[in-house]
Amino acid sequence: MSSTPQMASSLAVLVFLVCTVVLASGAASVRVGLTRIHYSDPDITASQFVRDALRRDMHRQQSRFGAGTTTTVSSRTRKDLPNGGEYLMTLAIGTPPLPYQAIADTGSDLIWTQCAPCGAQCFQQPAPLYNPASSTTFAVLPCNSSLSMCAGVLAGAPPPPGCACMFNQTYGTGWTAGVQGSETFTFGAGPADQARVPGVAFGCSNASSSDWSGSAGLVGLGRGSLSLVSQLGAGSFSYCLTPFQDTNATSTLLLGPSAALNGSTTGVRSTPFVAGPDRAPMSTYYYLNLTGISLGATALPISPDAFALKADGTGGLIIDSGTTITSLVNAAYQQVRAAVQSVVNLPATDGSDSTGLDLCFALPTPTSAPPAMPSMTLHFDGADMVLPAGSYMISGSGLWCLAMRNHTDGAMSTLGNYQQQNLHILYDVRKETLSFAPATCSDL
């Protein structure tokens, strides 16, 4: 993401650290609900929705270069107000716990929410602002904590008296600023599956950009030390993203021992993570080895090294729960584009102006059903991910569009959440593998 004051769907991070006057948490397994964000404005068309989601994705893409838990933590997740392509997770913060919804993002690490007092530079959110003064468990995170963003600035020196770590975290299309704190987070919908986790390091934001898609903040699920996954010491986590067009369905994010694929023994495929660069922000991402793509039974003529991660940190492919539309290196995208166009017997049109997607087809009428399409298969190292047409094509306003885009050579490719819908996906951090299986996510 670039450092412009706008927000993206999933978030790569550039961080600028400021220290004034110059935690590790024991954890349970977590169960979290996921909500897919939907536009609350009935006049917003599907084309506008895709265009806006794609705008956030592109800003995000442009900026990307610049102790184990023993019980399960869970949170309900779903799409909500349709002004974005993100999925929200529900949790509560503080004592007494104040519930809020935050974007679930495997492409970043920091956990943050808006905090009172919040002035003119705060955005409107559905839930009341968290007020640290009203919580008995809030504490300012010490500047020399291993989880403080200012620890590197101190370089091992003792912090000055009264030191508080002020942060300004910049994402591709947004930013947030405030002070780092430590707090108790509560996960789970009811007493039976509720888990309270003390000492979670998070960002208490007093100023933010305004485009955060109806959420109250963000929960980073990346590989860095500040992410929820790392702070819980969760060896694995899983989610199942409900269908994109379903505004009511919910699913669950699980962190910890129960983050399994429902004990399924059929249809599960696994592929290893690729070791990424050890410098931020690339060290945050979950890289995969995509070796090829097929449409139906036809393998597309894509070079085997098209998605290779280079020694300088360029290239490669990541899986990201916060990016909406999958992006492919241009050489691969053009092959996918040509293959899709060859099997659709409808007038092709460039939908860039209306949707941001350059390959669209005009349906006979706005209410016409799209034509039958073969499945698309993403060939990963040791595992094939089969995408039905509804997971790589999107319809709206009389257009039927390829829900993928290209990018310039050198940038990383990204597997977005539109292509992840109705897949149960398990990130096994300890075994360094990603596993997935087809699922009806709204039933889980």
Instruction: Pick the closest to residue 236 from 390, 432, 406, 52 (CA basis).
Output: 432
Contacts of 163 (CB under 8 A, 6+ apart): 19, 20, 21, 22, 142, 143, 144, 150
Side-by-side strand order, sheet with 376-380 = 298-299, 290-295, 376-380, 383-387
384 is known as an active-site residue: no
**C-alpha torsion angle, residues 31, 206, 135, 96 (rounded to 10):** -40
Strand 269-274 to 251-255 pairing: unpaired
Write down the number of H helices and E strands in the chain: 4, 29
Whole-angstrom distance, CA of residue 383 vs CA of residue 369: 32
Beta bridge partner(s), residue 114: 205
Q: Is the peptide bond before 96 cis (omega within 30 degrees of 0)?
A: yes
- Coarse DSSP helix, strand, coil percentages of the chain, rounded to the nearest 5 percent: 10, 35, 50
Q: How far is CA 273 from CA 254, 307, 428, 431, in A?
A: 19, 14, 9, 9
Q: Which listed residue (105, 211, 358, 428) is catalytic?
A: 105
Choosing from 109, 320, 358, 428, the catalytic residue is 320
If residue 288 lies in a helix (H) or strand (E), which one and from where to where?
strand 287-288
Does residue 428 have an active-site annotation?
A: no
Given the structure tokens 């107000």, which residue do they identify? 81
CA 162 to chain centre: 35
HSE (side-chain half, CA atoms, 13 Å) at 427: 27
Query: Which of the residues are catalytic?
Result: 105, 320
